[in-house]
Structure 1
Amino acid sequence: MSATSGAPTGITQGSGTKGGIGESTLRPDGILKVTGEFAYASDMWHEDMLWGQILRSTVAHAEIVSIDTAEALATPGVHAVMTYDDLPTDVRTYGLEIQDTPVLAHGKVRHHGEPVAIVAADHPETARRAAAKIKVEYRDLPVITDEASATAPDAVLVHEGRDDHHIGHVPHPNIVHRQPIVRGDAAAAAARADVVVRGEYHFGMQDQAFLGPESGLAVPEEDGGVHLYIATQWLHSDLRQMAPVLGLPEDKVRMTLSGVGGAFGGREDLSMQIHACLLALRTGKPVKIVYNRFESFFGHVHRHPARLFYEHGATKDGKLTHLVCRIVLDGGAYASASPAVVGNASSLAVGPYVVDDVDIEAVALYTNNPPCGAMRGFGAVQACFAYEAQMDKLAHRLGMDPVRFRQLNAMEQGAVMPTGQIVDSPAPVAELLRRVAAMPLPPERQWESSEGVDVRQLPGGLSNTTHGEGVVRGVGYAVGIKNVGFSEGFDDYSTARVRLEVVAGQAVATVHTAMAEVGQGGVTVHAQIARTELGVTQVTINPADTQVGSAGSTSASRQTYVTGGAVKNSCELVRERVLEIGRRRFGTYHPAWATAELLLEGGKVVTDGGEVLCDLVDLLADDVVEVEAEWRHRPTQPFDPHTGQGDGHVQYSFAAHRAVVEVDTELGLVKVIELACAQDVGKALNPLSVIGQIQGGTTQGLGIAVMEEIVVDPRTAKVRNPSFTDYLIPTILDTPTIPVDLLELADDHAPYGLRGIGEAPTLSSTPAVLAAIREATGLELNRAPVRPEHLTGTT
């Protein structure tokens, strides 16, 4: 059987221009996407496919007394109904790090919207109606919604009887993970401080809000296996979790990436992958599952909401003395990536500053709130919101300029992190602040002109709520630090297969990886690398699938670094084999083959002095050179469970923002006028794409600053706003001007000196907006997002 996948069958790039590293090349799928012709996962089709539907729990914490599927099974057009008892193997849970998530609920449900049963039918409406006919009887249990209820002496356990993943330093079974970071003597340093500031900060639950909902098509194969066409972030991680549940060896679970409509961490965990495959194997027919927006809010993890308690001290001349902080992350019902998020939040809790004496603790809780896991910024976002607010408080108390205060304490290359790790690549924190502060400010009162008032430029916009009365401008600054790549001893590698051959009289390179293209532009960068290393114009990017080695996850700002490194490594090995062919064929006729450094440029073999030795097409003739190779970055170490010491990260990235806002203080409305950014990217492999990533991350940071939050009822743990009607994200009318200043200070440890870039701007944009609103209003504002009632004092 075959299926129409949302992924193109192969993307060939090249139109006569070189298009190598450092050039702004256009995306090969760009025109298709902006014209609406691109095939996403939800567009997939098979001629005899069924439609899958998931029945989700209507309560957050309850025993399952009974499940009656008889009426659903009797519905005409229904081919299968499955519950926990129908699963084919004894392996019935999965998870990224801790296998604690049931494929279908068993015994009890732990959060609102948990999958309880699945249905396959010949029409999507039939599947939905049949799922609604399944009768589930629940017996309510107390809900765990915060740290007090999670760790009380008589607390109900979210995961009773499961303590195998808890280790000695985790004080309660409702705590997923705990990481202290202790260096120096914070208590003694506090006594030397002339000024001490404290703050308690609250960070809301943010949704990834990707526009393409979860979807996939599972096609049963003749050998008893299954082929899944899926929008995901990590094909091989999905495969590792799925195969044991399906009772199949991994080589019988084939996966192909389909068109992905955004991710931002929300596709790192499984959603409907196992459910579609189970139904396909049960019915013997292809099964497609597509979430609607309501289901999507329940079907993927979110950003961890957090409470952060911070204490900083400083001397009267502005030098930081110490930091004491505690970060409490709500991980929700299942572990997902919470342990790694805790590691990031704790190890980056100081920010890009030099503080010798620290006492840090970060924990993630099990609760009955929605599961939380990976999202752009991954623990560092929440910490940045708090430490940057603290920097402004200290600067105010000391009577110092907030930018100058930050620069005075900024780390630089050679600084020591709170974990004891030395920052051994450029850390231009002070310079980024200088650059962003030096950018021209937007003009005052730009809503006024000779033609009248342009309400689009005012708080409230087209709602026409104000004409400038009571509107106050504020300017705020923030800077952040984000790790790049997987950390804490994880074996982070990627694989690439590169092929060079002559096709229709041209030398053509083909690149095949399992990298999930989720919008970050890897399909463009991989072609640029192949052009640069192999000197060809035409490059074909094969669809990502599991027929090649793992590329790891498209997350942690790692793909250009690690999979780009793998493509570069494979290209270099291909080049060496091609040159060896030339040495064997022509070495006796031309001494340069043996004595000169040889390059592939412009479809030719040339010496480093520019002498052309032969045409690449003539050299290859009928030869095909193919290499599949891995690439690993330098190793990391786990953090010590008691002190947090260890070289836990590979690389750091830095971004600084200046926000300009206008606030109607009477109505509590905010208009962000500008969010200027300066960022060190190491090397801009594709400057156009780099700027797009920075602007996109900046906009997501704007969202959590002033509008985005999943609201969970504290009494029932039910989600109140699972739709884009009530969960607001920035539109083009909300997005400000975002000028970007790129700094390129190479990291000698990385391919081409590059840095991961996609996450850092998400960190500093949020606290910059809050700082600007504080400056405009004089309010403390220790919560994100800011709501109108926080500005008007109506609650």
Structure 2
Amino acid sequence: MTGTVGVPTRITQGARTRGGVGESTLRPDGILKATGEFAYASDLWHEDMLWGHTLRAPHAHALITRLDITEALRQPGVYAVLTYADLPAAKLYGLEFRDQPVLCDGRVRHHGEPVALVAADHPETARRAAAKIVVEYDVLPPVTDEASATGPGALVLHPDRDDHHAAHVPHPNIVHRQPVRRGDVEAARARAAVIVREEYEVGMQDQAFLGPESGLAVPADDGGIDLYVSTQWLHVDREQIAPVLGLPEEKVRLALSGVGGAFGGREDLSMQAHACLLALHTGKPVKMVYNRYESFFGHVHRHPARITYEHGATREGRLTHVVARIVLDGGAYASSTPAVVGNAASLGLGPYVCENVDIEAIGLYTNNPPCGAMRGFGAVQACFAYESQMDKVAAGLGLDPVEFRQLNAMEQGSLMPTGQPVDSPAPVAELLRRVRSMPLPPERQWESAGEGADLRALPGGLSNTSHGEGVVRGVGYAVGIKNVGFSEGFDDYSTARVRLEVVGGEPVATVHTAMAEVGQGGVTVHAQIARTELGVAQVTIQPADTLVGSAGSTSASRQTYVTGGAVRHTCQAVRAKVLQIGRRKFGSYHPAWATAELLLERGKVVTDGGEALADLADVLEEEAVDLELEWRHRPTHPLDRETGQGNGHVQYSFAAHRAVVEVDTDLGLVKVVELACAQDVGKALNPLSVVGQIQGGTTQGLGLAVMEEIVVDPESKVGNPSFTDYLIPTILDTPPLPVDVLELADDHAPYGLRGVGEASTLSSTPAVVAAVRQATGLALTRVPIRPEHLTDT
């Protein structure tokens, strides 16, 4: 007890439990990951386990005319070979609707599509057995773009599609279409002093996570399956897997294993159903680990896009109208293309005010690799195009590009082109001001006193291609808008279970959610929230699994908002119950138990004035408070199918970038010297993690600007499925990334926070391209920029 009963002690006013919200606490997995001791899914092991392997199609579009597994089954050490004919139940799966075969159904729709599965006692045995499978193909011409997908005589890739989008598209090879229309564009055109039209192209980017797809499926005694897997969404995986296995969901149990990065590429199924099928068929645990080559075929990518924009403005610099057509290539299967299309359309104006808008976004079925979620989710493609347009319009008016953006910047109270009011801070102009006011890096940093050029600071780097001849500097700006959370009426909720008890004389909180920790730092934040709400120093985070209710996906910048909100909500309910117990036990000793606002701080029950009424250990004694609750943010609503009007998003986030580049105009080489960012985060729950998220997103945007692209040839085959040929920024490519964090609270969100992880990915790409344009004077309408784009005349 706190001294004599009825004589409260006083603790320092405002003394909070350490390690709570707003502090840069260390990640519990940080040291293990930095030292290489962290256990990833690829490290899973089970006695007597088999190894699974997938045979994949070498063509993008073909009919299977013969499939013979005889020789594969004869190989010593092979336990099973499965094809489409062996599937015990549902044959299709998919995120938004079921259109993707678990194994090829006789028609190959993309390069690398799974055709057969092998289970063997050694991974090399499985690979060699797969090579013994005889598959004969009748190769067909691929559907590659909008013209071949929707033109006269176009082959319908999914003639039996049955989804709620099908009735609203003009062609069955269009997965989804979303217009956004507002105002009178034709009348606005007549008022425009300057009109700029341009076409843009965005290449196919890969999430390029370092940890390959991997997992271990273990048959259970009850006839079910336990799957240990690296994923982004345990419960939606289970929803798709259970029908394929012919099992009820309660017999399909998933637990999260160590995830080596995700960025959207683990939202869809990869090896999950395959490993479970092999394990149930053989009765043995089956492990599957993709190599890097297979990983490029085993997950979705960022949608490549072809985008046409028209912007008009008055002589004074006010936007009169914006017209856009955004064509996203979804590849062979739908994945999350409908939601990506919705984002591209509803965010296609950018963070600007314009009363007259006509935007149309469509997503296609083609025979190109399947595309789906990737950091930025439809907003990245649009941002590159509309920010390029803002620079071109500013140039046409003779205005400063930053001031032109600020003149048209939205603010709190502005209307989105969907008609939704922005009802939280929207500091677009301020972010641009802040990023512009950061000191510029010094010129000619490659010069070393008396020692010649420092090659590391030059375009081309240590390849010794330049010593500074023909190197020109450029500076560019961009700003973007991203939604937070799932949209358009999706029931976006999360679940948290929180237990508070006394262990060894000390109060301990245990937090259990199904949130996938993919590197974003959610396990750190959940502990911080529990410390803040329950006033305890010791917090245990339970491993994520399907034994607790769904936490939704680790995507859409939503986990800190939604699952963090669920943890906070449940902790507050636990606290209320603890206070009930305290009032029952000790209420008669002091009137503050009934009259004061009571908090839990540093293991004690305290008043808001700082009086400690009791130790938590004395309140709880042998009792434990254990609650599992769901939490939802305010609802969103579907967008109108023809006008795009509606309150489709729960929250918006904003970031602005300034890029400084140096370009060797003779060789077409780009060196990004600095990439500065200013971003509003509402409330930084863990400031160090927030900066890390912003820098990570910035770097992925840099990659899209100057190097990252999956190259697909005219036959729709992937040409560079390796980290030798698919380039991502290394530490030598990544410049200083100064970050200015603005905290303007969103009153609708827990702690006023704003989703952080994606916004910085949007504007970093167009900022880099704008800087290269300033350095070279070239139009540069495509990303990534290639050397030939800078040297061709």
What TM-score comes out, normalization by structure 1 length?
A: 0.97
- Residue correspondence of structure 1 range 663-702 to structure 2 within 5 A: 663-702=663-702
Q: 1: distance between equivalents of 2:504 and 2:80?
A: 50
Compute the displacement of 1:66 (Å). 1.5
Is this contact kept in 1: 2:213–2:290, CA < 8 A? yes
- Residue correspondence of structure 1 range 572-651 to structure 2 within 5 A: 572-651=572-651
Query: Who is 2:754 aligned against?
Result: 755
SS in 2 for 1:309: strand
Compute the displacement of 1:609 (Å). 1.0
- Residue correspondence of structure 1 range 348-497 to structure 2 within 5 A: 348-450=347-449, 451-497=451-497
Compute the displacement of 1:161 (Å). 3.0
Q: 1: distance between equivalents of 2:173 and 2:152?
A: 11
- Residue correspondence of structure 1 range 499-510 to structure 2 within 5 A: 499-510=499-510
Q: 1: distance between equivalents of 2:49 and 2:189?
A: 66
SS in 1 for 2:294: helix
Is this contact kept in 2: 1:142–1:156, CA < 8 A? no
Q: 2: distance between equivalents of 1:638 and 1:505?
A: 52
Q: In the TM superposition, what whole-angstrom CA distance separates every residue of 1:436-482 from its partner, at most 9, and x where no partner exists?
A: 00000000001112133110000000001000000000000000000
Q: 1: distance between equivalents of 2:82 and 2:448?
A: 65
| Pair 190,661 (structure 1): closer, same or farther in 2 beyond 3 Å | same
Compute the displacement of 1:160 (Å). 2.2
Is this contact kept in 2: 1:83–1:118, CA < 8 A? yes
1:315 lines up with 2:314 in the alignment:
yes
Q: In the TM superposition, what whole-angstrom CA distance separates every residue of 1:403-452 from its partner, at most 9, and x where no partner exists?
A: 00000000000000100100000000000000000000000001112133
Is this contact kept in 1: 2:17–2:531, CA < 8 A? no
Is this contact kept in 2: 1:166–1:173, CA < 8 A? no
SS in 1 for 2:168: coil
Compute the displacement of 1:589 (Å). 1.8
- Residue correspondence of structure 1 range 231-242 to structure 2 within 5 A: 231-242=230-241
Query: Who is 1:525 aligned against?
Result: 525
Q: In the TM superposition, what whole-angstrom CA distance separates every residue of 1:126-149 from its partner, at most 9, and x where no partner exists?
A: 000000110111111121000000
SS in 2 for 1:386: helix
Q: 2: distance between equivalents of 1:611 and 1:169?
A: 63
Compute the displacement of 1:592 (Å). 1.1
Q: In the TM superposition, what whole-angstrom CA distance separates every residue of 1:532-567 from its partner, at most 9, and x where no partner exists?
A: 000000000000000000000000000000000000
Aligned-pair identity in percent equals: 80
- Residue correspondence of structure 1 range 123-138 to structure 2 within 5 A: 123-138=122-137
SS in 2 for 1:717: coil
Query: Who is 1:110 aligned against?
Result: 109
Compute the displacement of 1:157 (Å). 1.2
Compute the displacement of 1:97 (Å). 0.4
1:775 lines up with 2:793 in the alignment:
no
1:534 lines up with 2:534 in the alignment:
yes
Query: Who is 2:13 aligned against?
Result: none
1:734 lines up with 2:753 in the alignment:
no
Q: 2: distance between equivalents of 1:463 and 1:83?
A: 48
2:601 maps to a residue whose letter is E
- Residue correspondence of structure 1 range 160-309 to structure 2 within 5 A: 160-309=159-308
Compute the displacement of 1:195 (Å). 0.3
Is this contact kept in 2: 1:78–1:126, CA < 8 A? yes
Compute the displacement of 1:153 (Å). 1.5
Q: In the TM superposition, what whole-angstrom CA distance separates every residue of 1:551-592 from its partner, at most 9, and x where no partner exists?
A: 000000000000000000000000001000000001112111
SS in 2 for 1:588: helix
1:558 maps to a residue whose letter is R
Q: 2: distance between equivalents of 1:430 and 1:323?
A: 20
Q: 1: distance between equivalents of 2:576 and 2:17?
A: 24
- Residue correspondence of structure 1 range 566-577 to structure 2 within 5 A: 566-577=566-577
Query: Who is 1:147 aligned against?
Result: 146
Compute the displacement of 1:169 (Å). 3.0
SS in 2 for 1:733: coil
Q: 2: distance between equivalents of 1:561 and 1:164?
A: 30
Q: 2: distance between equivalents of 1:769 and 1:48?
A: 52
Compute the displacement of 1:17 (Å). 7.2
2:351 maps to a residue whose letter is P
Q: 2: distance between equivalents of 1:359 and 1:527?
A: 46
Compute the displacement of 1:165 (Å). 4.3
Q: 1: distance between equivalents of 2:242 and 2:86?
A: 16
Compute the displacement of 1:158 (Å). 1.1
Query: Who is 1:67 aligned against?
Result: 67
Q: Which moved more, 1:500-509 or 1:559-568?
A: 500-509
Is this contact kept in 2: 1:169–1:642, CA < 8 A? no
Compute the displacement of 1:162 (Å). 2.5
SS in 1 for 2:119: strand
Q: 1: distance between equivalents of 2:513 and 2:413?
A: 35
Q: 2: distance between equivalents of 1:82 and 1:163?
A: 27
Q: 1: distance between equivalents of 2:764 and 2:76?
A: 53
Question: What is the aligned-residue RMSD (CA, Å)?
Answer: 0.8
Is this contact kept in 1: 2:242–2:249, CA < 8 A? yes
SS in 2 for 1:191: helix
Q: 2: distance between equivalents of 1:246 and 1:776?
A: 57
1:561 lines up with 2:557 in the alignment:
no
Compute the displacement of 1:619 (Å). 1.3
Q: 1: distance between equivalents of 2:215 and 2:163?
A: 33
For structure 1, the 5+ residue unaligned runs are 1-15
Q: In the TM superposition, what whole-angstrom CA distance separates every residue of 1:726-773 from its partner, at most 9, and x where no partner exists?
A: 000000000010000000000000000000010000000000000000
Query: Who is 1:8 aligned against?
Result: none
SS in 2 for 1:583: helix
Q: 1: distance between equivalents of 2:202 and 2:791?
A: 20
Q: 2: distance between equivalents of 1:419 and 1:469?
A: 50
SS in 2 for 1:269: coil
Q: 2: distance between equivalents of 1:480 and 1:156?
A: 37
What TM-score comes out, normalization by structure 2 length?
A: 0.97
Query: Who is 1:12 aligned against?
Result: none
Q: Which moved more, 1:368-377 or 1:587-596?
A: 587-596
Is this contact kept in 2: 1:163–1:173, CA < 8 A? no
Is this contact kept in 2: 1:414–1:423, CA < 8 A? yes
Is this contact kept in 2: 1:507–1:536, CA < 8 A? yes
Is this contact kept in 1: 2:188–2:356, CA < 8 A? yes
Is this contact kept in 2: 1:348–1:482, CA < 8 A? yes
Compute the displacement of 1:617 (Å). 1.1
Q: 1: distance between equivalents of 2:711 and 2:133?
A: 28
Compute the displacement of 1:159 (Å). 1.1
SS in 1 for 2:698: helix
Q: In the TM superposition, what whole-angstrom CA distance separates every residue of 1:179-238 from its partner, at most 9, and x where no partner exists?
A: 000100111111110000011000000000000000000000000000000000000000
SS in 1 for 2:588: coil
Q: 2: distance between equivalents of 1:456 and 1:757?
A: 31
Query: Who is 1:80 aligned against?
Result: 80
Aligned residues, how many?
777
Is this contact kept in 1: 2:17–2:536, CA < 8 A? no
Q: In the TM superposition, what whole-angstrom CA distance separates every residue of 1:106-137 from its partner, at most 9, and x where no partner exists?
A: 12110000000000000000000000110111
1:84 maps to a residue whose letter is Y
Q: 2: distance between equivalents of 1:303 and 1:587?
A: 59
Q: 2: distance between equivalents of 1:733 and 1:755?
A: 31
Query: Who is 2:38 aligned against?
Result: 38
2:625 maps to a residue whose letter is V
1:218 maps to a residue whose letter is A
Q: 1: distance between equivalents of 2:682 and 2:357?
A: 29
Q: 2: distance between equivalents of 1:547 and 1:222?
A: 17
Compute the displacement of 1:168 (Å). 3.5
